[in-house]
């Protein structure tokens, strides 16, 4: 891989933080509601990124011709994604959420095939179909895997938002630094959470040390650092290759949910997760070799 090692490592670090976000979100839900948590964590992210921009002297704004790409990437990868994810995690277990998130590489390949006309193969199609079977195993009887059908379906929808985020973000010109791209993505999406919080009408949450720490972790590590690392990684690896590294998300997620939240791991989760990971490997391995 040579010089590309740093890009792969950056993607891996971002995915590690996102894997742990399901657990931090569950902890924060002890006092927060889903939309309020969205607004809180990304408000923290906006403040931190704003300080970083002031310190670096970066005043770059999206050019008129690129503004649409910034808005779309913000909408898909942050705004809609987290509105659906937070609602889904609220209804299902952290372990199941991480397993469903493990299918996102296959969903990315599916979107690449039908929307962006990325070259495909029989093996890739077989991998996409296999991953979808794994999702079905997790969602057909959600009570056995610790979650609700609605929550799981919301998380599956997130996979399509994430796929579009990958492709749209890669189309943003490289003249913009990673910090500039990440700052505008997060600040645009934060405004999207305001009407969601108003509609939720949950009031101000009562902070505890535990939920406050979870919120800060989500804002700093899972919002600022994760997006900075992941967006930097996308400068050196393809969207499908980056997505294939997400194979590790279900592994990290199950470990975290079992050790930190003490969630039981069911046979259905293990079987469904294994099917998903196998399908993802099939759907992304060939394309990753071509784009590495």
Instruction: Flag whether 84 is in a domain.
Output: yes
Instruction: Flag whether 29 is in a domain.
Output: yes
Question: Residue 67: pLDDT band by 50, 70, 90 thresholds?
Answer: very high
Q: Is the pLDDT of residue 147 over 90?
A: no
Distance CA 239, CA 284 (A): 10
pLDDT digits 0-9 by tens, 2-54: 567 898 899 889 999 999 999 999 999 999 999 999 999 999 999 999 999 99
Q: Considering its fold, how many domains does the chain have in total? A: 1
Domain of residue 44 covers: 2-56+70-291
Instruction: Flag whether 65 is in a domain.
Output: no
Instruction: Flag whether 64 is in a domain.
Output: no
Q: Rounded mean pLDDT of the chain?
A: 87
Could you tell me which of 21, 245, 275 has the C-alpha nearest to residue 135? 275
Instruction: Flag whether 62 is in a domain.
Output: no
Q: Which residues, 6 or more positions from 55, have their beta carbon under 8 angstroms from its beta carbon?
A: none
Question: Residue 269: pLDDT band by 50, 70, 90 thresholds?
Answer: confident
Q: What is the mean pLDDT of residues 201-206?
A: 88
- Percent residues over pLDDT 70 in the chain: 92
Contact 112, 244 (CB under 8 A): no
Instruction: Flag whether 61 is in a domain.
Output: no
The pLDDT assigned to 236 comes to: 86
Q: pTM for the full model? A: 0.84
Q: Is the pLDDT of residue 146 over 60?
A: no
The pLDDT assigned to 240 comes to: 66
Instruction: Flag whether 224 is in a domain.
Output: yes
Question: Residue 114: pLDDT band by 50, 70, 90 thresholds?
Answer: very high
Instruction: Flag whether 226 is in a domain.
Output: yes
Contact 26, 215 (CB under 8 A): no
């Amino acid at each position: 891989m040579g010089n590309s090692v740093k890009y792969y490592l950056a993607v891996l670090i971002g995915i590690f933080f996102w894997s742990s976000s399901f657990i931090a979100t569950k902890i924060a839900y002890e006092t927060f509601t889903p939309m309020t948590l969205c607004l809180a964590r990304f408000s923290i992210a906006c403040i931190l990124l704003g300080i970083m921009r002031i310190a670096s002297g970066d005043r770059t704004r999206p050019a008129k011709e690129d503004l649409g790409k910034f808005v779309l990437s913000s909408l898909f990868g942050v705004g809609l994604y987290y509105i659906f994810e937070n609602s889904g995690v609220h209804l299902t277990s952290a372990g199941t959420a991480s397993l469903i998130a493990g299918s996102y590489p296959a969903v990315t390949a599916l979107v690449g095939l039908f929307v962006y006309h990325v070259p495909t193969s029989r093996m890739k199609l077989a991998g996409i179909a296999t991953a979808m079977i794994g999702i079905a195993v997790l969602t057909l009887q959600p009570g056995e895997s610790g979650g609700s059908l609605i929550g799981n379906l919301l998380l599956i929808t997130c996979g399509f938002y994430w796929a579009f985020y990958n492709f749209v973000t890669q189309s943003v010109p490289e003249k913009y630094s990673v910090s500039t791209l990440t700052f505008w993505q997060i600040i645009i999406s934060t405004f999207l959470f305001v009407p969601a919080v108003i509609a939720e009408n949950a009031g101000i949450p009562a902070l505890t040390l535990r939920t406050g720490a979870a919120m800060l972790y989500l804002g700093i590590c899972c919002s600022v650092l994760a997006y900075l690392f992941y967006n930097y990684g996308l400068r050196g690896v393809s969207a499908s290759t980056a997505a294939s590294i997400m194979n590790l998300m279900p592994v990290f997620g199950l470990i975290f949910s079992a050790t930190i939240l003490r969630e039981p791991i069911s046979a259905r989760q293990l079987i469904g997760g294994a099917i998903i990971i196998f399908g993802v490997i099939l759907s992304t391995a060939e394309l990753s070799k071509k784009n590495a």
